């Protein structure tokens, strides 16, 4: 049974907190319940297993991510792409250490080859994010900001994996990763030069 909005938000928040604090390897239904201000039975009532809960959690993260990137709509396409890169590479403003969350998220993704339900959810998330990027590119082309010769889907794949790879690299190398340099390169080379043309963006 799907939880109501308030219960779902509380369960997702507890899952987020537990994942950041303990990492995927030590994540259990009990550790999530420890972060939940209601009974553990309520979590089990809505989610049959940890796998079911994590699939719902990944869907929840996706919706929050889309909201953070697009806001209330009508934003500048260049700003949306830059905001997306910043959220993925540096982290959002959710009050948690982004390094903790990115590390936990990498651990979660690493289970996908062995968990069909999780793999399918991650595939849906990836497709939705690439669709979002392609839509942003089309909007920029309609406004005359982006080069019309750029294929939105091809750009979406490049942009998606550039920022995702940078995030993973940051988790693996920590302070040794050239995160700031890559973020600047994404902004300059991919957004400005590739999308907006040789003269650059704004």
User: Which pLDDT value is given to residue 115?
Assistant: 87
Residues 42-56: tens digit of each pLDDT: 898 889 888 899 989
What is the C-alpha to C-alpha distance for residues 122 and 33, in angstroms, rounded to an integer? 24
Best CA proximity match to 172, nearest among 107, 85, 92: 107
Least confident of 53-57, 90-94, 119-123: 90-94
Residues 146-191: tens digit of each pLDDT: 999 999 999 999 999 989 988 888 888 887 778 888 888 888 878 7
- 199 pLDDT band, cuts 50/70/90, is low
| Domain ranges within the chain, ordered by starting residue | 51-196
- pTM: predicted TM-score of the whole model, two decimal places: 0.84
CATH topology of domain 51-196: Tetracycline Repressor; domain 2 (1.10.357)
What is the C-alpha to C-alpha distance for residues 49 and 149, in angstroms, rounded to an integer? 47
- 2 pLDDT band, cuts 50/70/90, is low
């Amino acid at each position: 049974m799907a939880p109501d909005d308030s219960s779902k938000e509380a369960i997702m928040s507890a899952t987020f907190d537990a994942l950041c604090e303990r990492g995927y390897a030590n994540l259990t239904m009990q550790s999530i319940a420890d972060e939940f201000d209601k009974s553990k039975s309520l979590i089990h009532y809505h989610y049959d297993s940890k796998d079911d809960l994590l699939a719902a959690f990944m869907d929840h993260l996706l919706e929050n991510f889309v909201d953070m990137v697009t806001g209330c709509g009508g934003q500048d396409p260049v700003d949306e792409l830059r905001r997306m890169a910043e959220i993925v590479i540096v982290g959002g403003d959710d009050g948690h250490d982004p390094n903790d969350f990115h590390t936990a998220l990498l651990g979660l993704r690493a289970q996908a080859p062995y968990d069909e339900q999780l793999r399918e959810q991650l595939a849906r998330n990836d497709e939705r994010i690439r669709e979002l990027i392609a839509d942003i590119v089309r909007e920029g082309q309609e406004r005359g900001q982006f080069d019309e010769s750029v294929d939105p889907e091809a750009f979406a794949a490049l942009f998606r994996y550039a920022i995702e790879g940078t995030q993973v690299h940051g988790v693996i190398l920590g302070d040794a990763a050239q995160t700031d340099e890559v973020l600047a390169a994404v902004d300059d080379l991919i957004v400005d030069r590739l999308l907006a043309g040789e003269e650059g963006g704004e």
